[in-house]
Amino acid sequence: MIQIEKTTMMRTKETVEWATPSPPPFYCFPSIPKVTGRDAFWEMKKHGPMKKHYEEIELPRNTGMGIYISAFGFLAGFGLVWEIYWLILLGLAGVIACLIVRSLDRNTEYTLSAEKVKELDEAYEKKHRG
């Protein structure tokens, strides 16, 4: 039992999630790490830092639609609990309308150029790692 606990404690920081700095930048990884096995971060630590190869990163645009959908969902739920039928209909109509508007939006992503990623990563490294 003790050996299982020691092994678990030793193996907790070997996955790629531990390669992201804290606090993480908004793009997470400046380049996608190459994972060849289960303990990719451990392998990266053993073989030294990998050479950074910057590529374009496609990121989602920020939207407030989740807040609107949850507000209409709350109204529908409140109406269901208290049997307020017009509020149920209003909430469901609002949720459906928000989902339709969001699904028809074609401008949901943007791309960071490789140069911008490199610039942001170097500034981040300078600020957080000295």
Q: pLDDT tens digits, residue range 102-128?
A: 999 999 999 999 999 999 988 888 887
Neighbours of 42 (CB within 10 A): 16
Q: What does the pLDDT average to over 86-94?
A: 98
Q: pLDDT tens digits, residue range 5-35?
A: 555 555 556 667 677 777 888 888 887 777 7
Give CA angle at 24 (102, 61), nearest 5°. Answer: 15
